[in-house]
Structure 1
Amino acid sequence: ASHVRQRKDPYFGDGQKKKDWHNKEAIRRDSERVGNGEQGKPYPMTDAERVDQAYRENGFNIFVSDKISLNRSLPDIRHPNCKNKLYLEKLPNTSVIIPFHNEGWSSLLRTVHSVLNRSPPELIAEVVLVDDFSDREHLKKRLEDYMAQFPNVRILRTKKREGLIRTRMLGASVAIGDVITFLDSHCEANVNWLPPLLDRIARNRKTIVCPMIDVIDHDHFGYETQAGDAMRGAFDWEMYYKRIPIPPELQKLDPSDPFESPVMAGGLFAVDRKWFWELGGYDAGLEIWGGEQYEISFKVWMCGGRMEDIPCSRVGHIYRKYVPYKVPTGVSLAR
């Protein structure tokens, strides 16, 4: 019952003032939206729309993505307790870093729109799109012209193909926010996703926090939880990332509370900007994605920090059917 009492008292615990960060008006507007893919519903595809070419360039069905609004509504699938949680009134702001390489137009824009639509504006210092040497025409002047309407969105470009890790590092190196939040370029941030992440960092700057990653189907773009939902990150002897159940002794009385995780999934997390550099950032010798989440996870636990998953923060991610591009040096993913 203690956590119920806490919610009613805006000064619980450490005496710092709390508030409800939900944007009730935006939630109401979203609830009234109807149309293709709205409320995270699958898009009803015809056979003609299941064309393989749509996948070849992106690893997911870009035709369907293009038919869904850039501002589409998502189902609020958080634990019901999340709706009543209060977070610190004074939170650090964040630079949202979104690296991309030859990303589809609508999937990249929907990522940016979801962040701007579902984040308190005072918490977004900037959104930094980092282009890893894309050669698609729509990602050049057209993208710059489009993003000019958002004063706090900027585009950086690498001078040669660098790969995900160095591209992220470039974004982090110019970030001005107190916190760095990394997202992939085909995500959709869900309702009130940001305050629960920043709240944990405000309480302990050495905490790295990860949202719950929901699944956006690569075919019909339906939005749903991952199998098993809240689980810890781990890995097997071949260093493949695995999700394992939270052991009984670590389960919280309130399943919506943050829980510790040994290893992050990789693409979506927030970290205090100075702490990220104190940890040495990423190893700049990492050519391709897949090992960086272990490096940062091991470092944070070994250097007096901690890593948590935050059930009240949810971000959808398109898990691609396959990776549609070559990695920078032309090396094979298999070693």
Structure 2
Amino acid sequence: MGMGLVVSECQCLLKLFSSTKKKRSFHDLLRLTHKWTVVFHTKQHKNEKKPAKKLFPNSYLFKQWTVELSEDDQRKAEDLFQKYGYNAFLSDQLPLDRELPDTRDHRCIGREYPHNLPTLSVVLIYLDEALSVIQRAICSIINRTPAHLLKEIILVDDHSTNEDLKTQLHVYMSSINEKHPGLVKMVTHSEQKGLSQARISGWKAVTGDVVAILDAHIEVHVKWAEPLLARIQADRTLVLSPVFDSVNYYDLQVAKYPIYAHGFDWSLWCRYVGFPQKWYDQNDPSQPGKSPSVMGILVVDRLFFGEIGTLDGGMEVYGGENVELGIRVWLCGGSIEIVPCSKIAHIERAHKPYVSDISNVMKRNALRVAEVWMDEYKINVNIAWGLPIQNHGIDIGDVSERKKLRERLKCKPFKWYLENVYPELNPINDLLGYGVLINDLQTRLCLDKGPFEENTPILYPCNFMESQIFYYTASGEIFAHPLKFLKNNRNRYLIDPGSGRFPELSWCSDTEKQKHMYWDFKQISADQTGKYEKNVFLQDCRNQHWKIQNIIQDF
């Protein structure tokens, strides 16, 4: 309701009163007032906008981001969300120099660092990123890095197709370089080469003492660089990671993450893990802590990075290259630390727009890492991905140069890494077989976990999906997918509950094992009558045999 409407209605009412020649009674005036009040509210109601229809009620964006938008704006926001995996519509409306909440430990805030730290080059990698997100990353780096330490910002464009990244971004770069000559530079790929190659291209272009290789969908916090540079000044063989804060993909608000080390499972998917116990014994969460690996963002002495072989350029698209780096650094003379006083806010995408299914390329990259670095433990990667030990049929590319690098650097065996760096990773050296279990009387049916809430396995038409993957150990245990690769994690074991006709699936860890969970397959029987073909029975069966898909050792 505008103020002009109120004034005009009041003026009309006063004009009516003053123009009447007949003397009005007080009640007449009330009736007229009521009449015009009704008219006024009717006009006001007509001018009010109805709430826009919710066009995308099932969108991951609008399930979380509950704002009132016009239908046109909803379409724009959803289109941009599908394109980028985060709320680029909102990003375009936020200030490029927005403030971030200070999420550092209080002991970090007043900490002082030497003035004469190494110089820093920052590499930002992107592929069809939202323009405002890249601009905000650049702006935060310039505003929150001491000018005498910031040598340059290198943008690496891995063959983007967005027109605004070819025009408006260059205009933005030019405006910065007018104030800071030569500060922002760009490297462009004529074809998409993937994350590893893009990071290598950025490293080749930098000239600073230290290189920080970051995603472009980040914002750095205040005093982010000094703790990293001070650590590398003290030890050039360190590879460092700041601590990430999460930027919600839907409203771009910053959420503080707990401080963890970076690890991985045998499929080489990254995951957060605990620090070594001595880090916790310090009772000071502002101190750097040793880590088995890095999530991807890394800060390293520029020359040392070259000496240890940068990244594996044979990796495709995305995934596994950070785990490969983590293993190689530890085995070949360096170490990895997480630095809690350095904070970077990182947008957590709802989906990766540049590839619809990352699992296939991740599988291929993981096998490549295993072949070069994991020695006798490389079969665990096959097991994790459900692949046969021999002849998995996946082309991992030429690894001869990476094997020569390992020899040249005189790197330690992977067993040393498991024992000294990442003892939490279960070596799973007691498996005899894995995959689907098929009974010879019902060869079209496989053992299946059945409905999750029932914990009762069944026979089901073979589909070779995760619900039908089982693992058989030398001690006679059978447990179900997914295999828990960290020690003391709980696995889902097949047990004999001790009563009734049917086996069950039960959660337990190595310290909680139950009595009736050791099998030689003679106790598990498939129905032979055809009446209960989906049931698995507990009984002594002499004429049935079970076959497990992949055999590691004969049993």
Q: Confirm or deny a common fold (TM above 0.5).
A: yes
| Mapped partners of 1:111, 1:223: distance in 2 | 14
Give the residue type in structure 2 aligned to 1:271.
V
| Root mean square deviation of aligned Cα | 2.1
Distance of 1:170 and 1:245 partners within structure 2: 33
TM-score scaled by length of structure 1 = 0.82
Separation of aligned partners in 1, 2:67 and 2:186: 34
| Displacement of 1:240 | 1.5
Distance in 2, matches of 1:217 and 1:242, equals 19
SS in 1 for 2:153: strand
User: 1:321: Cα distance to partner?
Assistant: 0.6
User: Which whole-Å deviations, capped at 9, do the CAs of 1:222-241 have from their partners, x for residues lacking one?
Assistant: 10112xx1111111122211
Select 1:175's aligned residue among 197, 201, 206: 206
CA–CA distance in 2 between the matches of 1:106 and 1:45?
21
- How far 1:69 sits from its partner (Å)? 0.5
Are 1:224 and 2:255 matched, yes or no? Answer: yes
State the SS of the aligned residue for 2:243.
strand
Q: Deviations over 1:86-136 (max 9, x none)?
A: 222211011100011111011111011010110001111100001111111
Query: Which position in structure 2 is the counterpart of 1:11?
Result: none
Q: How does 1:9-88 map to 2 (within 5 A)?
A: 45-46=67-68, 48=70, 51-88=77-114
2:88 partner letter: I
Are 2:333 and 1:307 aligned?
A: no
Query: Is 2:292 aligned against 1:262?
Result: yes
Aligned in 2, Cα 1:56/1:231: closer, same or farther, shift over 3 Å? same
Q: Is the 8 A contact 1:165 1:282 kept in 2?
A: yes
Distance change (3 Å), C-alpha of 1:70 and 1:44: farther
Alignment partners' CA distance in 2, 1:112 and 1:45: 28
Contact 1:44 1:220 in 2 (8 A): no
1:137 is the counterpart of 2:149:
no
Is the 2:208–2:302 contact (alpha carbons within 8 Å) kept by the matching residues of 1? yes
Partners in 2 of 1:247 and 1:284 — Cα distance? 31
> What SS does structure 1 have at the residue aligned with 2:215?
coil
CA distance, structure 2, for counterparts of residue 263 and residue 237 of structure 1 = 13
- Give the equivalent residue in structure 2 for 1:27: none
Deviations 1:202-228 (A, max 9, x none): 0000011110011000000010112xx
Alpha-carbon contact 1:43-1:221 (below 8 Å) kept:
no
Correspondence 1:110-259 to 2 at 5 A: 110-151=136-177, 152-226=183-257, 229-251=258-280, 252-259=282-289
Distance 2:205 2:275 in 1: 37
- Name the amino acid aligned to 2:347: I
Distance 1:163 1:262, change over 3 A: same
After superposition, residues 84-99 of structure 1 pair within 5 angstroms as 84-99=110-125
Counterpart of 1:272 in structure 2 is 301
Q: Greater RCO between the two (CA within 8 Å, min separation 6)?
A: 1
Query: What is the CA-CA distance between 1:85 and the residue it aligns to?
Result: 1.2
Helix, strand or coil for the counterpart of 1:255? coil
CA change 1:172–1:322 in 2 (3 A) is same
Matched to 2:275, the amino acid is I
Partner Cα separation in structure 1 for residue 283 and residue 118 of structure 2: 28
CA–CA distance in structure 1, aligned partners of residues 86 and 208 of structure 2: 32
SS in 2 for 1:254: coil
Of 325, 332, 335, 2:354 maps to 325
Q: Is there any run of 5+ residues in structure 2 with no aligned partner, and where?
A: 1-63, 178-182, 365-555
Q: Measure the CA separation in 2 of the matches of 1:166 and 1:332.
A: 15
What secondary structure sits across from 1:159 in the alignment?
coil
Which moved further from structure 2: 251-260 or 313-322? 251-260
Check the 8 A contact 1:178/1:273 in 2, yes or no: yes
Gap regions ≥5 residues in structure 1:
1-41
Report the alpha carbon displacement of residue 249 of structure 1 after superposing the two structures with TM: 2.9
Choose which of 129, 147, 150 in structure 2 pairs with 1:103: 129
SS of aligned partner of 2:230 = helix
Partner of 2:325: 296
Distance 1:278 1:186 in 2: 29
Deviations 1:294-321 (Å, cap 9, x if unpaired)? 1111111112211111111000000111
CA contact (8 A) 2:221 2:342 kept: yes
Q: CA deviation at 1:55?
A: 1.1
What is the one-letter code of the residue matched to 1:218? Y
Relative to structure 1, is the Cα distance of residues 333 and 265 closer, same or farther in structure 2, using a 3 angstrom cutoff?
closer
**Partner secondary structure for residue 133 of structure 1:** coil
Instruction: Give CA-to-partner distance per residue, 1:141-176, whole Å, 9 cap, x none.
Output: 221121012230011111211111101111111111
Alpha-carbon contact 1:187-1:315 (below 8 Å) kept = yes
Distance in 1 (CA, whole Å) between partners of 2:284 and 2:241 is 18
Larger radius of gyration: 2
Q: CA deviation at 1:44?
A: 7.3
**CA drift at 1:246:** 2.6
3-state DSSP of counterpart to 2:354: coil
TM-score by length of 2: 0.50
Q: Secondary structure at the match of 1:150?
A: helix
C-alpha separation between the residues in 2 aligned to 1:201 and 1:248?
A: 23
Question: In structure 2, what is the Cα distance between the partners aligned to 1:99 and 1:288?
Answer: 13
The offset of 1:45, in angstroms, is 3.0
Q: Quote the Cα distance in structure 1 between the aligned partners of 2:167 and 2:200.
A: 24
Question: Does the 8 A contact of 1:99 with 1:132 survive in 2?
Answer: yes
Deviation at 1:334, TM superposition (A): 5.8
